[in-house]
């Protein structure tokens, strides 16, 4: 009997909500019966491209995201021109303005933003409008046929794009802005002046520092008056002063709101099974209005809705790379120097190119590019990574140009489309696999250039490069192994979605080319199955703590944690070794005792006498923690050994992607770094990953929590065989710090770790009872 589908309802047919649905379908195409409510009469469209339509570069059809056939193909019930007016979270139903009622199992609120419409006196006159929808765009095009003088209130990106479109339609355009420079949130004074000069040359007129007092005229607007007594004539007034989250529906339905609809790191609201995404959502006190964060939120939301764990949204480092009325502009991070930050700038007056790099010490904290933005993604990555740069590297960044960092020099991992996170390698692979030769084909296949469109020149340049004689790049193999075309990430998602619990089930369900797999996929599958099903390793690989040697004897390592053995344990061990004539007792390099030369018939006696439970010797584990203490150090030896013991016990029997060596030492000991090291110092306990300082904890309990959460996050997110050093390099130390040092998320990691340990011990008890 087929399982009944859950009902997924999406309120809002905009870019963030629709991307959430697309992500849900990519994970599970038949899990939900999907209904989408949209207030506008149109199917989904790219709101970012409205200015391009206004300027005459694209048609309305060109900016549609999905055709009506797409909704039908995926059996989605699209209800346009129907607005949800109430959510009853008790009965889990929604009501609409057409007297409709629909129940839901999962509800996603993606109501977006409303344009800020300042209620100036006269703002209700004919000819005063916002620029937000297709209908607004059509009204502006129609107005330009009959009127010639337009005033745009707002000198931000939207206002400038509206002004450029109205110029193209043959209108005379004045831009009014309250601030003293254009795009003050994205540009510094110098870049803003360059932009104003360029746009003035295109025909725009600017009135900066102007505070509007009223709109005058008869039935239709005829002018704009300012508080300083001056005024401008106008037949059409466009308000483009910003947007505000559309939260009234959520607020009236008992969903917690602040600036936006308050969500957690999985985009969940305070109401069970109700999520929010996009411009209406407030995450960690921030409401995002750029497309990249909204798409990142959609990825996390979709996994949460589908019941796929391990994915969280931690916020986005903001950047802007846009073509403002024909001028390329990029900014990222904190680009205003001061407060200890220093700036390096260069201005190529001949070509009209401006570059500003802001450094906090040796780290790039922000950047502005004007005129030539092709280095933008490279700079953004440095801002995110917070990499320490040498003076030579700083100068190289300052002097760099498109000639020395064109598409040929880009790594395959480098982002081409920041909005949709599409890398150079992804585009090359898609083009070669599907014989793609045009930007539109790349857009349809990968979504690169489908959002803000600023990366179209780079996509075009990349396609030209691929057709040249200089192109000889090979695509890095991304599949898990030769047995499957799926990547490791895709395999793990399928394990979770389908509930696969054995290697045989995986290979059968996912169409493995080999029934037995290979030396690459079998251990990887074993690891991932063990992470998803805590009892897996114990059920399939449960063994006693003994390793057979070539001569037929065994080695047993008693579980003495932290390198500490009590007098009672030592006496019991001594008595046992004498009675059974154990060959050798060896002190290992990781400060443990090993019993060697044990005969097989003596194993059960040793296990019982030393109270040793079963565990899996398969895969990789956190190795016994090594301690060190100097005689001339004032560090508390008990604290050091206590921390080592607790860490040993915490991760006993739990698998990790790759073997992890931990050391806990006083500061006076020789600093030889392991995968993870803790050093006692006068100012606190320094925690290192490889040779990089991760954090300085104030006390032992904090150290224990930080190290435990760090290792758990490594367990949850690293790929199989990826060392801690490789993992931290790939995901970024800044990102991992944000995760582990956040109190709420650290608690979640520690709770998950305790649950894994509990299930592990429970499985051991069950297995020992059976056997």
Query: Are 301 and 12 contacting, i.e. CB atoms less than 8 angstroms apart?
Result: no
**556 closest CA partner among 548, 540, 545:** 545
Four-residue CA torsion sign, 420, 426, 430, 436: positive
Number of helices (H), then strands (E), belonging to the chain: the values are 24, 42
Alpha-helical regions (H) of 661-699: none
- CB atoms inside a 10 Å sphere around CB 603: 17
Q: Are strands 554-556 and 542-543 parallel, antiparallel or unpaired?
A: unpaired
Q: Are strands 236-239 and 261-263 parallel, antiparallel or unpaired?
A: unpaired
Question: What backbone phi and psi angles, to 5 degrees, belong to 752?
Answer: -65, -40
Question: What backbone phi and psi angles, to 5 degrees, belong to 712?
Answer: -70, -40
Instruction: Please tell me the distance from the alpha carbon of residue 645 to that of residue 627, in angstroms, as a whole number.
Output: 10
Q: 563: burial class by Cβ within 10 Å (0-12, 13-18, 19+)? A: buried
The three-state (H, E, C) secondary structure of 342-354, written as one string = EEEEEEECCCCEE
CA distances from 710 to 297, 642, 689, 714, 716 (A): 23, 19, 10, 6, 10
**Residues paired with 405 in a beta bridge:** none
Q: What letter does residue 368 receive in the DSSP assignment?
A: E
**559 closest CA partner among 542, 549, 546:** 546
**55 closest CA partner among 323, 419, 447, 439:** 323
Q: What is the DSSP track for 10-78?
A: EE--SHHHHHHHHHHHHH-TTSEEEEEEESSSS--B-GGGHHHHHTTSS-TGGGBSS-HHHHHHTT-EE
Give the H or E element holding residue 574.
helix 567-580
Report whether 518 belongs to an annotated binding site.
no
**426 closest CA partner among 472, 473, 384:** 473
Instruction: Please tell me the distance from the alpha carbon of residue 426 to that of residue 442, in angstroms, as a whole number.
Output: 10
CA distances from 616 to 20, 620, 767 (A): 40, 10, 12
Mapping DSSP to helix (H, G, I), strand (E, B) and coil, where does residue 686 land?
Answer: strand
What's the N-to-C CA distance of the chain in angstroms? 37
Q: Are strands 554-556 and 593-598 parallel, antiparallel or unpaired?
A: antiparallel
Instruction: Please tell me the distance from the alpha carbon of residue 80 to that of residue 66, in angstroms, as a whole number.
Output: 14
Report whether 666 belongs to an annotated binding site.
yes
Annotated binding-site positions? 633, 666
Annotated binding-site positions for [4Fe-4S] cluster? 633, 666
């Amino acid at each position: 009997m087929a399982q009944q589908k859950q009902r997924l309802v999406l309120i809002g047919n905009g870019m963030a909500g629709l991307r959430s649905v697309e992500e849900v379908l990519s994970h599970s195409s038949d899990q939900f019966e999907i209904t989408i409510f949209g207030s506008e009469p149109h199917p989904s469209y790219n709101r970012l491209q409205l200015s391009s339509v206004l300027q005459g570069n694209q048609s309305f059809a060109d900016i549609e995201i999905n055709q009506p056939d797409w909704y039908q193909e995926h059996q989605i019930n699209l209800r346009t021109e129907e607005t949800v007016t109430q959510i009853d979270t008790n009965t889990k139903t929604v009501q609409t303005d057409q007297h409709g009622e629909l129940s839901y199992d999962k509800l996603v609120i993606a109501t977006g933003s409303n344009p800020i419409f300042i209620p100036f006196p006269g703002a209700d006159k004919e000819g005063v409008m916002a620029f937000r929808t297709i209908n607004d765009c059509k009204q502006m095009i129609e107005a330009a046929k009959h009127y010639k003088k337009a005033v745009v209130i707002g000198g931000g990106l939207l206002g400038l794009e509206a002004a450029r479109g109205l110029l193209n339609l043959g209108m005379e355009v004045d831009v009014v802005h309250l601030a003293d420079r254009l795009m003050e949130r994205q540009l510094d004074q110098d870049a803003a002046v360059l932009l104003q000069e360029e746009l003035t040359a295109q025909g725009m007129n600017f009135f900066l520092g102007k505070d509007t007092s009223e709109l005058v005229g008869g039935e239709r607007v005829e002018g704009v008056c300012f508080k300083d007594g001056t005024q401008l004539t106008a037949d059409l007034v466009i308000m483009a002063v910003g947007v505000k989250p559309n939260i009234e529906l959520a607020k009236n339905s008992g969903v917690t709101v602040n600036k936006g609809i308050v969500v957690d790191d999985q985009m969940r609201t305070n109401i069970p099974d109700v999520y929010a995404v996009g411009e209406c959502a407030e995450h960690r006190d921030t409401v995002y209005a750029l497309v990249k964060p909204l798409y990142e939120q959609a990825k996390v939301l979709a996994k949460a809705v589908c019941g796929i764990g391990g994915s969280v949204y931690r916020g986005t480092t903001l950047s802007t790379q846009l073509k403002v009325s024909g001028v390329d502009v990029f900014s990222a991070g904190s680009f205003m120097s001061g407060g200890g930050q220093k700036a390096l700038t260069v201005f190529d007056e001949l070509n009209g190119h401006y570059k500003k790099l802001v450094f906090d010490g040796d780290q790039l904290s922000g950047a502005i590019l004007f005129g030539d933005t092709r280095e933008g993604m490279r700079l953004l990555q440095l801002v995110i990574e917070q990499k320490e740069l040498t003076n030579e590297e700083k100068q190289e960044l300052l002097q760099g140009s498109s000639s020395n960092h064109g598409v040929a020099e880009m790594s395959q991992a480098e982002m081409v489309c920041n909005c949709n996170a599409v890398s150079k390698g992804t585009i090359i692979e898609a083009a070669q696999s599907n014989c793609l030769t045009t930007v539109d084909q790349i857009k349809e296949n990968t979504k690169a250039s489908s959002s803000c469109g600023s990366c179209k020149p780079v996509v075009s340049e990349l396609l030209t490069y691929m057709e040249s004689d200089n192109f000889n790049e090979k695509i890095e193999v991304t599949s898990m192994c030769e047995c499957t075309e799926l990547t490791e990430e895709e395999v793990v998602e399928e394990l979770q979605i389908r509930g696969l619990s054995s290697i045989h089930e995986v290979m059968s369900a996912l169409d493995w080319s080999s029934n037995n797999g290979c030396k690459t996929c079998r251990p990887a599958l074993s690891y991932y199955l063990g992470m998803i099903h805590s009892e897996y390793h114990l059920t399939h690989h449960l063994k006693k703590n003994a390793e057979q040697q070539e001569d037929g004897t065994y080695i047993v390592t008693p579980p003495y944690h932290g390198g500490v053995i009590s007098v009672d344990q030592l006496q019991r061990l001594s008595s046992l070794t004498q009675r059974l004539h154990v060959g050798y007792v060896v002190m290992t390099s990781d400060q443990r005792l090993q019993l060697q030369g044990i005969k097989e018939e003596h194993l059960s006696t040793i296990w019982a006498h030393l109270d040793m439970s079963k565990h899996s010797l398969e895969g990789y584990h956190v190795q016994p923690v090594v301690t060190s203490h100097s005689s001339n150090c004032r560090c508390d030896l008990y604290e050091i050994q206590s921390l080592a013991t607790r860490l040993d016990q915490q991760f006993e029997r739990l698998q990790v992607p790759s073997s992890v060596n931990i050391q806990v030492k006083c500061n006076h000991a020789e600093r030889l770094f392991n995968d993870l090291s803790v050093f006692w110092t006068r100012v606190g306990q320094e925690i290192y990953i490889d040779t990089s300082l991760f954090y300085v904890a104030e006390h032992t309990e904090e150290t224990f929590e930080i190290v435990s959460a760090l290792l758990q996050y490594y367990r949850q997110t690293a790929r199989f065989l990826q060392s801690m050093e490789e993992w931290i390099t790939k995901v970024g130390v800044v990102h991992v710090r944000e995760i582990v040092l956040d109190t709420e998320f650290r608690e979640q990691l520690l709770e998950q770790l305790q649950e894994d340990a509990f299930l592990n011990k429970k499985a051991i008890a069950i297995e020992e009872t059976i056997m």
